[in-house]
Structure 1
Amino acid sequence: MADPGVPVDCDTAVCLADLAELARRVLPAAVYDFVAGGSGAETTLAGNRAALDRVAVLPRVLTGTADPDLSARLPGGVAALPVAAAPMAYQRLVHPDGELALARASAAAGVPFVASTLSSYPIEEIAAVAGPLWFQLYWLRDRSLVRALLARAEAAGATAMMVTVDVPLMARRLRDVRNAFTLPETVVAANLTRDLAAGLAAGPDDRAHLAATGVSAVAAHTADVFAPALTWQDIEWLRGQTDLPLVVKGLLDPRDAALAVEAGADAVVVSNHGGRQFDGAPPSIVALPAVVDAVAGRAQVLLDSGVASGTDVLRALAGGAAGVLVGRPLLWALAAGGERGARRAFDLLRAELSDALTLAGCADVAGARDLRTLTIGGTR
């Protein structure tokens, strides 16, 4: 958890990268690594940033654009920005207010907050302070518990249901292995029963065992609790359990995007899990155009993994995305300053996107989708 004795001033941040540096100052090294790290050699993690930086947007000129409209229709309604706060587990790990602070900041920004199955506050408490609320589902081995989570989310007022499909098992995250990472006793998976949530915290003896076996406590717990062998029939079953918009997160292959639509998805999220799952997967921004083509307007397409600025949001929109999920930058902001830090992050993102749209000659978010982009390899 962040060290309250280390003073930081979030108002000094002029970009989201500044907030990441402020977070580094206050977080314990193992916690910083847990958030920052990827799987394996972190090739995909690095690739996300490198690929986004290779996307150049061709701006239009003499369009008479000023004060662009930043609003966008996303699953469940209209958002003030084409952005949702990505589902991220155990947010109390970086700040005591955790999901509650980030949900309040998301509400103030007018964007959806996606509450994770592995939130460190229960969905009911998050819903009490959130604006637009989506619930992200990790599939548990006990289907009755899946059904119970869905019912709780709907009762709490969720406006969309997101299922993550790229975690049949948690990939080896070497920073966590080297750190024998465990959660402190004060941070739990608050949406799960006590028995399911147990096993994430560990003492010195447990840490030594984890280091010797080459796994982290979080990975070991995930293997015990998550169902590893989902199929498209499970997604069809899920579609039949809720009338809320269904969002399938974790697709890269356009064939899977098409199957998701056939199974009843209202939206798909092109994502490599922020470089935290299959190390060797392509950057999400590279996979985006083919997914957009495969979906062919039958569902919305969102982009996740690596988005860290308003320019990145514009790049995703120009590639055909309806919007993006923003992850780590919001956790860094939360670590640096709680709700105030998260509000600062959204303010910066809003200002950057407004500037990017204006400079690219776009009056609104829809106009950004008509832009063309160039990469090192040519026109996209």
Structure 2
Amino acid sequence: MYRDGVFGRVPAVPADFATLEARAKEVSTPRAWAYVAGGAGEGRTMRNNRAAFDRWAIVPRMAHGNTTRDLSLDLLGSRLPAPVLLAPVGAGALMGEDSDLKIARGAAANGIPYVFSNQGCNAMEDTAAEMGETPRWVQLYWSTDEGLVDSMLARAEAIGAGALVVTLDTTLLGWRPMDLNIGSLPFSQGLGIAQYTSDPRFAEIVRERIAAAAGAAKESTEVTLGAIKTLLAMTRNHPGAFLENLRSPVPRAAVETFLDIYSNPGLSWDHLATLRERTQLPVVLKGILHPHDAKRAFDSGVDAIVVSNHGGRQVDNAIASLDALVTIREAVGDDPTVLLDSGIRTGADVFTALALGANAVLLGRPHMYGLAIAGAQGVAEVVANVIAELDLTMALSGTADLASITRECVVPNPSA
């Protein structure tokens, strides 16, 4: 980056998070910004996530003699160059067309996994094609239709997913004022449902719904400019030719079907117990915040958990993910694989999370901001910056590898 500066070239994305966020907001629509940057309620959980990092301070050690660092690790059967994955973020096309394909390219450029969003804007098969040999994981929202769950599992296996990430904390959407104030739900316009419209079982459900409606009394629909715009958006976002979709009931039926069945409010440990009979993939449970839930997850045989409060988007004033990580690691011991999501912004944050017990972290909003600014290159640069800062933090703190990043590397911050 300094070498490029000699020739008058600057990075596509800013190197600090505050400027990155501000630049992304400048290039985003109000609807996109509300969905990606917004949180639940008064935003206290998002603030809790950042405050938790501020409560810890790194203690660098001197004269250690290390000249190289090894950031690599083995994670669920894959060797990764760094302890960073890209988190699933739904409706990414709000921030850039073909969002999942571009995120996949940005992840692959750094050799790190991308967790394909269940609410993605590109089918998982197309996204996998962008990853090459780079590991990819697949997120699952547990539908009320068990046949659809099985279909998603089969597709994840078919694209060579390295793990199945079952998100537990979004069986219902949280109270999100930034979206509510502008009446914006991307899925209602057919955005973020590509995993469904590309699924054979979902297509079957839609056909059944259309057939059942054919003999029913017609609903009267209020015709407004907004309703027309929504219909056009559904038509445009649905696979296939625009004019053909415009004459078809399928795009609208697909959206209505998705909204009815995408997530199961009754999801229970009994549902999760069936996974071992239904897939050979390593199972990761995302959204764990309580140590009892963490212990139950590992007792049930899952391969890993993600300590996450969904980036502060589900419950207002929930515990910070980093605080939950500390208590969960103490409860489950050193051996289980525990990842951290929510609040990670910098390489120093990654270092702190590893010191407090995470095996690796998931990066969410930062890579979406990179996408908004510069597409796949923006994603790649955001990831590279985080990894580079982690490497420098390790170098300046005297840790030669990830195993050297221990609880002794951080202390409670006396100035927090």
- Which residue in the other structure is 1:176 paired with? 179
Going from structure 1 to structure 2, the CA distance change for 1:370 and 1:283 (only over 3 Å counts) comes to closer
- Which residue in the other structure is 2:390 paired with? 353
What's the CA shift string for 1:271-327, capped at 9, x where partnerless? Answer: 000000111211001111111122223420010001000000001000011010000
**Matches of 1:187 and 1:240 in 2, distance apart?**
32
- Which residue in the other structure is 1:154 paired with? 157
- Which residue in the other structure is 2:221 paired with? none
- Whether the 8 Å contact between 2:325 and 2:358 is mirrored in structure 1 is yes
- Partner of 2:274, secondary structure, is helix
Pick from 245, 248, 255: which aligns with 2:285?
248
Going from structure 1 to structure 2, the CA distance change for 1:203 and 1:134 (only over 3 Å counts) comes to farther
**Matches of 1:315 and 1:39 in 2, distance apart?**
25
- Whether the 8 Å contact between 1:270 and 1:303 is mirrored in structure 2 is yes
Pick from 323, 332, 338: which aligns with 2:369?
332
- Which residue in the other structure is 2:7 paired with? none
**Matches of 1:20 and 1:152 in 2, distance apart?**
34
Offset of residue 49 of structure 1: 1.1
What's the CA shift string for 1:136-161, capped at 9, x where partnerless? Answer: 10000001100100000110110111
- Which residue in the other structure is 1:214 paired with? none
Offset of residue 350 of structure 1: 1.7
- Whether the 8 Å contact between 1:16 and 1:348 is mirrored in structure 2 is no
Offset of residue 28 of structure 1: 0.7
- Whether the 8 Å contact between 1:180 and 1:207 is mirrored in structure 2 is no
User: Which residue type is aligned with residue 324 of structure 1?
Assistant: V
Offset of residue 75 of structure 1: 2.4
**Matches of 1:349 and 1:62 in 2, distance apart?**
25
**Matches of 2:13 and 2:169 in 1, distance apart?**
37
**Matches of 2:357 and 2:382 in 1, distance apart?**
24
List gaps (5 residues or longer) in structure 1: 1-8, 209-217
- Which residue in the other structure is 1:191 paired with? 195
Offset of residue 372 of structure 1: 3.6
- Which residue in the other structure is 1:291 paired with? 328
Offset of residue 71 of structure 1: 1.1
**Matches of 1:47 and 1:110 in 2, distance apart?**
31
**Matches of 2:75 and 2:225 in 1, distance apart?**
43
**Matches of 1:371 and 1:150 in 2, distance apart?**
41
- Whether the 8 Å contact between 2:92 and 2:192 is mirrored in structure 1 is no
- Which residue in the other structure is 2:42 paired with? 41
Going from structure 1 to structure 2, the CA distance change for 1:223 and 1:280 (only over 3 Å counts) comes to farther
Q: Percent identity?
A: 38
- Partner of 1:159, secondary structure, is coil
What's the CA shift string for 1:160-197, capped at 9, x where partnerless? Answer: 1110111121111011000101338573411113567x
Offset of residue 258 of structure 1: 0.3
**Matches of 1:221 and 1:289 in 2, distance apart?**
37
- Whether the 8 Å contact between 2:48 and 2:317 is mirrored in structure 1 is no
- Which residue in the other structure is 2:170 paired with? 167
- Partner of 1:179, secondary structure, is coil
Counterparts of residues 80-159 of structure 1 (less than 5 Å)? 80-130=81-131, 131-159=134-162
After the TM superposition, which of the residue ranges 62-71 and 365-374 deviates more from structure 2? 365-374
Tell me the number of residue pairs that the alignment of Structure 1 and Structure 2 aligns: 359
Pick from 296, 299, 319: which aligns with 1:259?
296
- Whether the 8 Å contact between 1:17 and 1:329 is mirrored in structure 2 is no
**Matches of 1:331 and 1:219 in 2, distance apart?**
27
- Which residue in the other structure is 1:212 paired with? none
If you compute each CA radius of gyration, which structure gives the higher value, 1 or 2? 2
Could you list the structure 1 runs, at least 4 aligned residues long, displaced by more than 4 angstroms after superposition.
205-208, 218-224
- Whether the 8 Å contact between 2:145 and 2:261 is mirrored in structure 1 is no
**Matches of 1:323 and 1:89 in 2, distance apart?**
21
Offset of residue 360 of structure 1: 1.4
**Matches of 1:377 and 1:139 in 2, distance apart?**
43
User: Which residue type is aligned with residue 174 of structure 1?
Assistant: P
Counterparts of residues 23-102 of structure 1 (less than 5 Å)? 23-102=24-103
**Matches of 1:272 and 1:203 in 2, distance apart?**
37
- Partner of 2:158, secondary structure, is helix
- Partner of 1:191, secondary structure, is helix
